[in-house]
Chain A
């Protein structure tokens, strides 16, 4: 597949896929945050089945990219980290979904 904007057959070019979201773990995190307003670290960890370290690492990557917002605080004496998608993150996720949908719809 070439890296032109429009490849043969109208399939999205490989350049169009957001590699940050394309990684399975991060796509899972983005998907879970997309359907809620916000969730904390424990909730996302339980829902995705990831370990603490796994989720923490991926969360940092998404935060660096500006796709998620991370708010750290306390609930009582327990530290609490709340996550939510930024507007940029929502747009990036929607673009990613659109690209993937096009890929499968246009595939022979």
Chain B
């Protein structure tokens, strides 16, 4: 019996259902959009990026209460230890930046190190960081679409890094803008499909209504002697 119930598959299905509404993609897109604005304007705009990052989960939850949970039900997924997650994100980000710094040093040598190199290769760094985030999401949900997001983000990042933008910060701004557009459009499409595929269910049956045995799934009935 145990081998027919795959707990990992059940957990991944729960994750996929939870992410089906596309709201996470929309939120990521909004964060990227505001980040592009922060790069384009001034450093004080970084607070615009912090706002959705901090309050985004609460906003998503409020939208889900209105649109998602009444349609497919509510689930609270098991979360990893927040400290371990934060440490993992931090270490991964540091590793990505360190690897890029080493690669750039090997390619261009110490004499040509300049801030412009950082800006020029920032799209690739952001793409690599998103690769990690999407890989994590794929491992949790089993949904290969997150690999596609990751590969697109990285590929576009490398392409933007190889193309010389003047000024160099424009490349970062345009990269973040393009990615945000992709994520927001994808998220909105998924949300529209989700609403179409999951109409609001009828009002729940009264708990006192008699059960109709003809509607029961064979093998899953209640044995009164059990």
Contact = CB atoms under 8 A, between A and B. Distances in A.
Q: Do A and B originate from a single complex? A: yes
A35 B14 contact: yes
Nearest to A42: B73
A101 B1 CA distance: 9
A47 B73 CA distance: 10
A104 B222 contact: no
Nearest to A57: B222
A40 B217 contact: no
A45 to B, nearest CB: 7
A53 B221 CA distance: 10
Interface string B72-98: 111111110000000000000000000
A32 B14 contact: yes
Tell me whether chain B's interface is mostly helix, strand or loop, or mixed.
loop
Contacts of B72: 42-43, 46
Most A CB within 10 A of own CB, among B2, B3, B201: B2
B201 A34 contact: no
A31 B204 contact: no
Contact of A47 (B13, B78, B79): B13
B11 interface: yes
B216 A40 contact: no
A47 B5 CA distance: 13
A43 B221 contact: no
Given A56-B207, A78-B204, A36 B78 contact: yes
B166 interface: no
A91 interface: no
Interface of B: 1-3, 5, 7, 10-11, 13-14, 17, 65, 69-70, 72-79, 201, 203-205, 207, 209-212, 215-217, 219-223, 226
Interface of A: 19, 22-25, 27-28, 31-32, 34-54, 56-58, 61, 75, 78-80, 82, 96-97, 100-101, 104
18 contacts: A19-B226, A24-B1, A27-B5, A31-B7, A37-B77, A40-B75, A42-B204, A43-B72, A45-B73, A46-B73, A47-B10, A47-B13, A51-B211, A53-B212, A54-B217, A75-B70, A80-B74, A104-B2
